[in-house]
Amino acid sequence: MNKFQLRDYQSDAVQATLSHFRKTDESAVIVLPTGAGKSLVIAELARLAKRKILVLAHVKELVEQNHDKYLSYGLKAGIYSAGLKQKQSQLQVTFASVQSVARNLQDFATEHSLIIVDECHRVSDEENSQYQQIFAQLKAYNPQLKILGLTATPYRMGIGWVYRYHYRGFCRADSDRPFQHCIYELPLQYMISKGFLTPPTMVDAPVAQYDFSALNANTTGNYPEKEVNQLLVSHPRVTEAICQQVIQLADSRKGVMVFASTVKHAEEILGYLPTAHSALITGATPLQERDALIAAFKRQEVKFLINVAVLTTGFDAPHVDFIAILRPTQSVSLFQQIVGRGLRLAEEKKDCLVMDYAGNGFNIFYPEVGQPKPDSSSVPVQVFCPVCEFANIFWGKTDDEGNILEHFGRRCQGTEENTKGSVTQCDYRFRFKECPQCNAENDIAARHCHQCQHAIIDPDDQLKAALKLKDALVIRCAGISMTESENKLKVTYHDEHGEELSERFDIANPKQLNRFNQLFGRRFAQNSQPVQFKTLTEILSMSQLFCAPDFVIARKSGHHWRIQERIFDYQGNHRKANQL
């Protein structure tokens, strides 16, 4: 009956699923790159299941694809999808579209043992989402229902990681996610080096490039359409020059996918490309027309297929050998999804040309960092946790030799499993705010202490309050210096214009030493190596490596200024020193 020989990693993924669900009912995700044969893994899991299972996908093409793969095993399964004009839910295995099931929950009022969700990065936490409605319905008939997701990119802008814990011993999020565990992951690099995917060729020589760096993404990681249009309109020649290069480079290519920023932008691009061989698909393209255009593209009657945010996942045209990116993106995952459209194997295809005209500056092999890229010069850097030694990946800056100059990580992502098998996240924070009540370390954006619930004042409110007072002084701190003064340590805070404030720590006094260590020793060397200092000499010999706060607030006390607050790792509306 087992007609297909699974590749090693496919059977590893199947084994990981079986052993996970033997241990627990908690939901799980498998990460396999596009082209790794997810449908075969799904077919094998469905074949092994003894009780009823439901396989969900968000588009009819995927429902059909997964169903076909299962049938090729010589097995029988139902299809439940309005788009495919079939509504069977009686058989042991059902391949279904999410929309159709969510609209007809009454047809799924029986016990199922497993739900498999394809392209599971689309699942959201929201109770009213179609996915959650389906999960709730089936859980009502079986509280032990198992939920497994599959995706190539377990990440979505605006939501972030779709799972919380990774099987290699780290976590992706501090709070619950749509899925609990990632139980298997295969890197893209593996697929390419083993010859299962076509290697991408990234040429860094665009004739012209958009500069989207001035735009700010909204909370869902998208750029406001109006602003993008405005930026594009102000550079009319750029689009024309890019299109000319695309045509020229496409000479030796068979299928070109162009990713545009907005509908207006896409229409402009369409105007510059050869009319007879170009087509445009947007979210508003009627379904029938869309199917016809895609079919013409696959038959290679259309050579240039332009789209606006619609063909990133679930679209499969193996002959694509040129990807032109003319849209900004903040996420490595989205970038990889786009490039992934051109990595399928096809006859006579040796590589896939990738041109990034939007200056996104991502590498296809970059790991996803999980935060939007802070600015164009940031790269993923590896930062070891001083407590659990986990190798974190954060955005950061490096010098020409690759040495880390700074990183933007906040909390260690390492995890620990206790003897009872439950997993907790490492407590170490690279950046933190102290609770004024209990001194516990909190995230720099926290409003309440995670330990005692005491309110933590927003640094902007702190600055605002201080700036209102006549007897308070606030300096934007550009640097600190440490010197000896009457056997004590003198810390001087300098602002950009030469103004300064200072305070003294009596290092021989255990209480004051402790305070110094909490403020400065804990943040030693870019928050990466906390040190407990013991002597004044020791501190002075390493004075260059202490972190400066971003703002210092002092109050008048007699004829002196007494330091009241040092704000480290400031994030807010005020400009920091030496920042434009």
Q: Are strands 404-407 and 391-398 parallel, antiparallel or unpaired?
A: antiparallel
Is residue 465 a contact point for Zn ion (CB under 5 A)? no
Residue 409 makes contact with Zn ion by CB under 5 A: no
385 binds Zn ion (CB under 5 A): yes
| Alpha carbons 293 and 268: distance in angstroms, whole number | 19
20 vs 433 by CB, closer to Zn ion: 433
Q: Quick one: which segment of 242-250, 331-339, 364-372, 447-455 binds Zn ion (CB under 5 A)?
A: 447-455
Note whether 412 binds Zn ion by CB under 5 A: yes
Q: Does 171 bind Zn ion (CB under 5 A)?
A: no
Q: Which is nearer to Zn ion, 220 or 437 (CB)?
A: 437
Q: Which residues is 381 bridged to in the sheet?
A: 394
- The span from the CA of 367 to the CA of 233, in Å, is 34
Single-letter amino acid code for the residue at 72: S
317 contacts Zn ion (rule: CB under 5 A): no
571 lies in the site for Zn ion, by CB under 5 A: no
414 is a contact residue toward Zn ion (CB under 5 A): yes
CA distance 102 to 117: 14
What phi and psi values does residue 441 have, to the nearest 5 degrees? -90, 130
Which listed residue (452, 465, 540, 542) binds Zn ion by CB under 5 A?
A: 452
Q: Pick one of 438, 445, 457, 469: the residue that binds Zn ion (CB under 5 A).
A: 438
Q: For residue 522, what are its two tokens?
A: 């804990």
- Amino acid (one-letter) located at 174: D
* Smallest separation, CB 451 to Zn ion (Å): 5
Distance CA 311, CA 306 (A): 9
CB of 165 to Zn ion, least distance (A): 14
Instruction: For residue 20, give Cα distances in angstroms to 26, 512, 533.
Output: 9, 51, 46
Beta carbon nearer to Zn ion, 300 or 424: 424
User: Using an 8 Å Cβ cutoff, are 514 and 543 in contact?
Assistant: no
Give least dist CB 462 to Zn ion, A: 17
Shortest Å, Cβ 367 to Zn ion: 18
Q: Which stretch binds Zn ion (CB under 5 A): 39-47, 323-331, 420-428, 485-493?
A: 420-428
In angstroms, the CA 58 to CA 151 distance is 12
Residue 58 three-state SS: coil
Tokens of residue 381, six digits: 């850097």
- Residue 96 or residue 449: which is nearer to Zn ion going by CB? 449
Judged on CB neighbours under 10 Å (0-12, 13-18, 19+), 88 is middle
Q: In whole angstroms, what is the distance from residue 155 CA to residue 166 CA? A: 13
Q: What are phi and psi of 66, to 5 degrees?
A: -65, -40
**Which of 19, 451, 487, 509 is close enough to bind Zn ion by CB under 5 A?**
451
Task: Give me 332's structure tokens.
Answer: 């490595």
Query: Shortest distance, CB of residue 449 to Zn ion, whole angstroms?
Result: 3
Q: At what angle do helices 8-23 and 38-48 cross, to 10 degrees?
A: 50
Size of the site for Zn ion (CB under 5 A): 16
Q: With beta carbons less than 8 A apart as the criterion, state whether 104 and 124 touch.
A: no
388 binds Zn ion (CB under 5 A): yes
Q: Which is nearer to Zn ion, 328 or 459 (CB)?
A: 459
Q: Integer distance in angstroms from the first to the last C-alpha of the chain?
A: 67
Choosing from 387, 465, 469, 508, the residue that interacts with Zn ion (CB under 5 A) is 387
For Zn ion, the closer CB: 74 or 436:
436
393 is a contact residue toward Zn ion (CB under 5 A): no
Q: Does 456 bind Zn ion (CB under 5 A)?
A: no
Contact 479, 496 (CB under 8 A): no
**What's the min distance (Å) between Cβ of 396 and Zn ion?**
17
Q: How far is the CB of 301 from Zn ion (least distance, A)?
A: 55
Nearest approach, Cβ of residue 406 and Zn ion (Å): 19
Q: Under a CB-based contact definition with an 8 Å cutoff, are residues 120 and 55 in contact?
A: no
Question: For residues 242 and 326, is the Cβ–Cβ distance under 8 A?
Answer: yes
**454 vs 562, which CB is nearer to Zn ion?**
454
**Which lies closer to Zn ion via its Cβ, residue 140 or residue 452?**
452
| Residue 440 in contact with Zn ion, rule: CB under 5 A | yes
What angle, 0 to 180 degrees and rounded to 10, lies between the N-to-C axes of helices 225-233 and 236-249?
80
Q: Is 428 in the site for Zn ion (CB under 5 A)?
A: yes
CB of 182 to Zn ion, least distance (A): 18
- Asked if 435 is part of the footprint of Zn ion (rule: CB under 5 A), the reply reads yes
Q: Which residue stretch of 59-67, 229-237, 406-414, 467-475 sits at the interface with Zn ion (rule: CB under 5 A)?
A: 406-414
Least distance (Å) between residue 162 CB and Zn ion:
23
| 131, 98 contact by CB (below 8 A) | yes
Tell me which stretch binds Zn ion (CB under 5 A): 95-103, 136-144, 317-325, 422-430. Answer: 422-430
Contact positions toward Zn ion, by CB under 5 A? 385, 387-388, 390, 412, 414, 426, 428, 435, 437-438, 440, 449, 451-452, 454
